[in-house]
C-alpha cells in the first residue's frame, strides 16, 4: 500500500490538472472576425481584430462593397458596456470605389464593448451598424500554477533531506515517498507543458442550446432620407427579452431574404444591428405587394434558425419584375451572361447538379470571387414558400476579409428537391466585387 500511495497521488493530480478544452462558439472575442452588414444602403465588409488584455490596440477595417457615393466620413465609436468609457476615431471616406478604411483605437479596459460604425454625409448620419465584442484578460498558460506548486514541494523535500540526514526511519519513508511523488508530478507536468501533442482534448458536447428566438419584422420609413426600411426585433421565446447572443454564421449576424409571392423579386441582405435584439435595413425601390421575409440567425451554442413573416411593402410606381426563365436558361445580368442548367432532369428526392457558367462580352470570366465565404450561393423556394433552401457551391470555403478570387467561370450546386413542383431558384455570384443575382425556375418531376 505504501508504494501505491504516491502513484495514486500522481494520477489524482494529473487528473485535476488535465486541461479541459471547452469549445467556445463564434462570439466576437479574440482574434479576427469578418462580417458583412448593410449600413444604411451601403453593404460593408467589416473586420474586427479583437485584442487580448487591455489597454490594447483594437483594429477595425471597413470595406464598402460598392461605391459609398455621397458619404464623406466614417466614424467608429467604442463604448464599454459597464463603465460607459468611450473611444472614437473618424476618417474621411477615401475617394474612389471600394477603398478599405482602417481604424486603430486604444481600448483602456477588458470586458464587453459596443462598436458603433457610422457613415456620415456632409450633414447627417446615413448608415449605422453596431457590433458587440468581448475583450478577455490575458491568462497564464495552462498548468503554470500546478508546475510551480510541484517544483516548490520537490524543493522542500530535497531541502528537508539535506538539513535532516539522520532522521528516524518513518521520517525517511515519508521523505522518500514525497520525493518520488513530487519528482514524478514535476516531470509529468513539465512534459505536458512542453509537448502539447501529449495532451488529448476531451470533446465536450454543447448541451446548453437556447430557446427559439422570436422575430418581428416591422416596415418603416426614414422620411429624412426618403427610404423604406424594415426594422427587426429579436426576442427570446421563453423570457421575451431582447436576444443579444447572436453569433456570426456565414459571415453575418443576420441574413435576410425578401421574396414576393410570385418569386419575381429577390433580396439577400444583411440588416445592421443597432442595439441588443434590434436590427434595421434599407430597402431598394420595389413593386407594392406582400412579401415573404425569411430571417436566418444563429444563437450561441444553438443551431441556426430561420423565421418567416409576410409583410406589405413597396410602392405603386415600381414595376414588378418579369417571370424568371425555365432551365436550361441563359440570363443577362448587367454586363454578365450567366448560363444555368442541370446535368440530369430534376426528380423528387434525387440530388441533382446545377451547373452555372458566367461570361462577359462572349468570353468566360477569369475568376469568381468568394462572397460570404463561398464562390456561389443558391436559394430555392417552392410556390407556397414552405420549402426554402440555401445551398452553397461545391468547393472549399474562404472567410478571409479580402478573400481570393478562384480562377474559373463555373460553379456547381447539388440539391435534392423534396416536392414535384416548379421552384423559383436564385443563383448568386460575385464577379469583380459585384454581386450578380440570377433568377431562374426549375420544374421537378415526380
Ligand atoms: Cu446572407
Give domain status of residue 203, yes or no. no
Ligand 1 centroid – CA 119 distance (Å): 21
The answer on 167 and 85 residing in a single domain is no
**Final residue in a domain of this structure, among 313, 337, 363:** 313
Find the mean pLDDT for residues 59-65.
Answer: 90
Give domain status of residue 221, yes or no. yes
The answer on 264 and 182 residing in a single domain is no
The answer on 329 and 438 residing in a single domain is yes
Ligand 1 centroid – CA 36 distance (Å): 8
Q: What pLDDT shows up at residue 179?
A: 83
The answer on 82 and 64 residing in a single domain is yes
Predicted confidence band of residue 444 (pLDDT cuts 50, 70, 90): very high
Q: What pLDDT shows up at residue 19?
A: 43
Ligand 1 centroid – CA 330 distance (Å): 25
Ligand 1 centroid – CA 50 distance (Å): 23
The answer on 353 and 298 residing in a single domain is no
Give domain status of residue 329, yes or no. yes
CATH number, domain at 222?
2.60.40.3340
Domain tally, the chain: 4
Ligand 1 centroid – CA 436 distance (Å): 14
The answer on 222 and 281 residing in a single domain is yes
Rounded to the nearest integer, the mean pLDDT of the chain is 84
Ligand 1 centroid – CA 378 distance (Å): 11
Give domain status of residue 219, yes or no. yes
Give domain status of residue 206, yes or no. no
Ligand 1 centroid – CA 200 distance (Å): 36
Count CB atoms within 10 A of the CB of residue 197. 5
Ligand 1 centroid – CA 56 distance (Å): 32
Ligand 1 centroid – CA 438 distance (Å): 16
Ligand 1 centroid – CA 256 distance (Å): 6
pLDDT above 70 (res 232): yes
Looking only at the bridges linking them, the beta strands covering 434-443 and 325-326 are parallel
Ligand 1 centroid – CA 446 distance (Å): 31
Q: What percent of the chain has pLDDT over 90?
A: 39
The answer on 427 and 354 residing in a single domain is yes
Find the mean pLDDT for residues 43-55.
Answer: 90
Range of the domain at 193: 4-19+142-198
Ligand 1 centroid – CA 217 distance (Å): 17
Q: Please give the residue that has the higher pLDDT: either 33 or 200.
A: 33
Span 383-401, pLDDT tens digits: 888 888 889 988 887 777 8
Q: What pLDDT shows up at residue 172?
A: 82
Ligand 1 centroid – CA 37 distance (Å): 9
The answer on 181 and 271 residing in a single domain is no
Ligand 1 centroid – CA 97 distance (Å): 22
pLDDT above 80 (res 13): no
Ligand 1 centroid – CA 293 distance (Å): 13
The answer on 243 and 98 residing in a single domain is no
Counting Cα atoms < 13 Å in the Cβ hemisphere of 115 gives: 28
Ligand 1 centroid – CA 257 distance (Å): 8
The answer on 351 and 433 residing in a single domain is yes
Ligand 1 centroid – CA 75 distance (Å): 25
The answer on 298 and 357 residing in a single domain is no
Q: What pLDDT shows up at residue 24?
A: 32
CATH number, domain at 40?
2.60.40.10
Ligand 1 centroid – CA 255 distance (Å): 4
Give domain status of residue 26, yes or no. no
pLDDT above 60 (res 277): yes
Find the mean pLDDT for residues 82-99.
Answer: 85
Least confident of 3-17, 145-159, 367-381: 3-17
Find the mean pLDDT for residues 167-176.
Answer: 82
Predicted confidence band of residue 204 (pLDDT cuts 50, 70, 90): low
Ligand 1 centroid – CA 252 distance (Å): 7
Ligand 1 centroid – CA 51 distance (Å): 27
Ligand 1 centroid – CA 284 distance (Å): 16
**Final residue in a domain of this structure, among 263, 279, 313:** 313
Ligand 1 centroid – CA 268 distance (Å): 6
pLDDT above 80 (res 141): no
Find the mean pLDDT for residues 11-39.
Answer: 60
Ligand 1 centroid – CA 271 distance (Å): 9
Ligand 1 centroid – CA 10 distance (Å): 52
Predicted confidence band of residue 68 (pLDDT cuts 50, 70, 90): confident
Q: Please give the residue that has the higher pLDDT: either 98 or 295.
A: 295
Least confident of 37-41, 205-209, 255-259: 205-209
Span 295-348, pLDDT tens digits: 999 998 887 889 999 999 988 887 777 778 888 889 998 899 999 999 899 999
Find the mean pLDDT for residues 407-433.
Answer: 91
Q: What pLDDT shows up at residue 174?
A: 84
Ligand 1 centroid – CA 297 distance (Å): 10
Find the mean pLDDT for residues 436-442.
Answer: 91
Ligand 1 centroid – CA 42 distance (Å): 15
**Final residue in a domain of this structure, among 281, 313, 345:** 313
The answer on 179 and 148 residing in a single domain is yes
Ligand 1 centroid – CA 372 distance (Å): 7
Least confident of 14-18, 157-161, 279-283, 372-376: 14-18
pLDDT above 50 (res 129): yes
Amino acid at each position: 500500500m505504501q508504494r501505491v500511495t504516491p502513484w495514486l497521488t500522481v494520477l489524482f493530480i494529473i487528473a485535476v490538472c488535465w486541461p479541459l478544452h471547452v469549445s467556445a462558439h463564434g462570439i466576437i472575442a479574440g482574434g479576427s472576425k469578418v462580417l458583412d452588414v448593410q449600413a444604411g444602403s451601403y453593404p460593408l465588409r467589416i473586420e474586427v481584430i479583437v485584442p487580448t488584455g487591455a489597454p490594447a490596440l483594437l483594429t477595425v477595417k471597413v470595406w464598402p462593397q460598392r461605391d459609398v457615393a455621397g458619404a464623406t466620413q466614417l466614424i467608429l465609436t467604442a463604448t464599454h458596456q459597464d463603465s460607459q468609457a468611450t473611444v472614437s476615431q473618424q476618417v474621411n471616406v477615401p475617394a474612389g470605389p471600394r477603398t478599405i478604411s482602417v481604424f486603430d483605437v486604444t481600448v483602456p479596459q477588458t470586458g464587453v464593448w459596443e462598436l458603433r460604425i457610422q457613415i456620415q454625409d456632409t450633414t447627417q448620419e446615413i448608415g449605422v451598424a453596431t457590433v458587440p465584442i468581448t475583450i478577455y484578460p490575458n491568462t497564464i498558460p495552462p498548468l503554470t500554477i500546478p508546475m510551480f506548486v510541484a517544483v516548490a514541494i520537490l524543493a522542500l523535500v530535497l531541502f528537508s533531506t539535506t538539513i535532516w540526514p539522520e532522521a528516524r526511519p518513518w521520517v525517511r519513508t515519508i521523505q522518500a515517498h514525497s520525493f518520488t511523488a513530487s519528482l514524478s508530478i514535476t516531470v509529468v507536468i513539465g512534459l505536458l507543458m512542453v509537448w502539447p501533442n501529449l495532451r488529448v482534448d476531451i470533446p465536450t458536447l454543447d448541451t446548453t442550446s437556447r430557446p427559439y428566438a422570436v422575430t418581428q419584422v416591422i416596415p418603416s420609413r426614414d422620411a429624412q432620407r426618403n427610404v423604406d426600411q424594415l426594422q427587426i426585433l429579436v426576442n427570446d421565446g421563453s423570457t421575451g427579452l431582447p436576444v443579444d447572443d447572436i453569433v456570426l454564421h456565414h459571415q453575418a449576424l443576420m441574413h435576410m431574404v425578401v421574396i414576393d409571392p410570385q418569386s419575381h423579386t429577390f433580396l439577400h441582405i444583411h440588416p445592421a444591428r443597432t442595439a441588443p435584439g434590434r436590427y434595421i435595413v434599407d430597402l431598394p425601390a420595389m413593386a407594392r405587394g406582400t412579401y415573404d421575409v425569411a430571417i436566418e440567425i444563429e444563437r450561441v451554442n444553438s443551431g441556426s434558425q430561420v423565421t418567416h413573416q409576410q409583410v406589405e411593402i413597396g410602392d405603386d410606381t415600381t414595376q414588378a419584375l418579369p417571370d424568371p426563365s425555365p432551365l436550361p436558361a441563359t440570363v443577362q445580368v448587367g454586363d454578365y451572361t450567366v448560363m444555368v442548367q442541370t446535368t440530369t432532369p430534376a426528380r423528387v428526392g434525387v440530388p441533382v447538379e446545377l451547373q452555372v457558367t458566367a461570361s462577359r462580352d462572349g468570353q468566360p470570366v477569369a475568376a469568381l470571387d468568394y462572397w460570404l465565404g463561398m464562390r456561389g450561393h443558391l436559394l430555392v423556394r417552392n410556390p407556397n414558400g414552405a420549402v426554402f433552401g440555401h445551398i452553397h457551391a461545391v468547393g472549399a470555403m474562404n472567410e478571409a476579409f479580402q478573400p481570393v478570387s478562384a480562377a474559373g467561370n463555373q460553379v456547381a450546386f447539388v440539391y435534392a428537391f423534396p416536392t414535384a413542383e416548379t421552384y423559383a431558384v436564385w443563383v448568386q455570384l460575385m464577379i469583380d466585387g459585384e454581386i450578380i443575382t440570377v433568377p431562374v425556375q426549375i420544374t421537378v418531376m415526380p
